[in-house]
Chains A and B, each alone.
Chain A
């Protein structure tokens, strides 16, 4: 029975194959050009929307694109967003490469965040060199368990992972809200009767050091970058990594080769969850210094986008996270720069995603590209 369920993984494995060919087909220069072309096309349609919203598209885009890069504030804020995006994205890369789709990032982030906050509060007096690794490991373990549930349900009971992760996100959110308004609530909030759902401030020694003074850029970025390299090594230079990719490329063949497919599916989902849980912990230790409402911030979804922009490659996810981070910040600054409704920001992001995924066809079918841009093709 379980064997049959693995056929569900087929469509993902097909995608992986596409991702594989993409890397072979095009030089990075052409990939970049196509990506930029798609971005431009999305922004042109966005310009029409901006015109409908009675604001000057040129001014709006000027703010959107210069905002994230024109000041120390913009650059650091972009990196602050890129950090959790990269972490979640790395988990997504692992799971996609193993033929399983993790859309439970939101719930896993919360599981990691609340575990990190609770542990750091319980072990208040422990020294940082012990406490920080412990907190991070615990958060990763919490995320891994939450993701692992979906992996286990899939591997053992053939419950589709999209179904289970959608449900698990909701369940995690309610448990999270219960914990931060109930057992973990800041005692001061109760004492003053304000009852804001958030935990107490974590002990100072667990706060991540700030990389640039007077900004929010924290050491979590370095951790994320290191992990990106580690994931690359893991997937392409270790036996386990090789087996996981084999499962992703074709579960039937992998099974034939004697690989325990179920085990690697659970592992893939658990690792994806671990990275999302880590992202939650990094947000707590690096940015907020406590667990509070609205912490996951949609990173569970935008992390998927970052991983796909990064062509499902751990190192490609690094620039992709920067791009998505800059896009989110820039679009948000546009709201203030030219005072357009916040909803516009969302619409433009949606357009960008639609155009960029659509442009993939040019990479998969290079003949289309050469028909469109003959000179570019000649260069090849």
Chain B
């Protein structure tokens, strides 16, 4: 009896953790490209809110979550473009313009929600995708293969992002403009164009992460739906040392800790629940503090590129 409960707990923790990691993974992978190119986008939270809202709105009006998803991607694209305009072309201080983007995204999505929806309503979401054979494997099947397809996509994007970043010419350019923009410029790479592209990729993925919250997870929209998840995604990029696999590890660690605390609470183990709620945050800090090793940062991170002023 005890054994069954323990096994059930383990399966439960893993299954929930895998699902919870999805929005962090999507947003952090996008942010990784932006930061690799040298732009620090703290406005991810705002982009996620806009993505979440438009995904909801269009699904609400059309009844088709795929239309909603598409519009989230478009909104993510536009928000990424806005951030690029402000931080690349106009060379604004990046941390602060990110906070501006966050407030703008939160405000605008809240405003449009009031104007065009005006009340909490649920929408049809994406159901779980049943994978033949895989979903039917006893025990593991329900953990890894009982989610909607955005979850799989997020995990699939990890190797894809790795490949794009390290094995394609574009990835090379992104890394070059993020570490030695002057040298890249000398070689004829348009630093600002690459940064625009990277920020837009980041925006689209953040839009998708937002859409996952409304279409994939909650199937509804409410004010401040992201509740700080975008900021955590930014932190996870640092945690993952700007590497897709590191980001995967960080997202999973954070989400597993979160899933664990949910299960511990639900199973009725009594201790102050605040301790449980802070568990993922503490775990992440501790994991980073003890993992002493190679520390590398995109050298040009946060530095607007200026042809005139080298060095």
A interface vs B, CB < 8 Å? 1, 4-5, 7-8, 10-12, 14-15, 18, 49, 52-53, 101, 103, 153, 157-160, 162-164, 166-168, 170-171, 174-175, 177-178, 182, 301, 304-305, 308, 341-354, 357-358, 360-361, 364
Contact = CB atoms under 8 A, between A and B. Distances in A.
B93 A308 contact: yes
Contact of B107 (A157, A162, A308, A350): A350
Interface stretch (B2-10, B129-137, B160-168, B281-289): B281-289
Nearest to B100: A353
A171 B292 contact: no
Contact of A354 (B40, B97, B278, B289): B97
Interface string B111-149: 101110000000000000000000000000000000000
Contact of A350 (B91, B105, B235): B105
Interface stretch (B197-205, B212-220, B298-306): B298-306
Given A343-B111, A350-B101, A167 B284 contact: yes
Contacts of A5: 295
Given A11-B301, A171-B278, A345 B93 contact: no
15 contacts: A8-B297, A52-B115, A162-B234, A166-B232, A166-B234, A166-B235, A170-B281, A171-B282, A308-B96, A343-B107, A347-B104, A350-B106, A352-B100, A353-B96, A353-B99
B302 A350 contact: no
B111 to A, nearest CB: 4
Contacts of B196: none
A358 B97 contact: yes
B288 A163 contact: yes
A352 B104 CA distance: 9
Given A153-B285, A308-B93, A347-B106, 19 more contacts: A7-B299, A11-B40, A11-B300, A11-B302, A14-B303, A52-B115, A157-B288, A163-B288, A164-B288, A166-B235, A170-B281, A175-B274, A178-B272, A341-B114, A341-B115, A343-B113, A347-B103, A350-B101, A354-B97
B95 A350 contact: no
Given A14-B302, A350-B101, A174 B274 contact: yes
Contacts of B40: 11
A357 B95 CA distance: 10
Contact of A49 (B100, B108, B301): B108
Given A10-B303, A171-B281, A350 B102 contact: yes
Given A341-B114, A346-B106, A174 B277 contact: yes
Nearest to B231: A166
Contacts of B104: 346-347, 350-351, 353-354
A166 to B, nearest CB: 5
B92 interface: yes
Contact of B111 (A49, A159, A166): A49
Contact of A349 (B97, B107, B228, B278): B107
A12 B86 CA distance: 18
B37 to A, nearest CB: 13
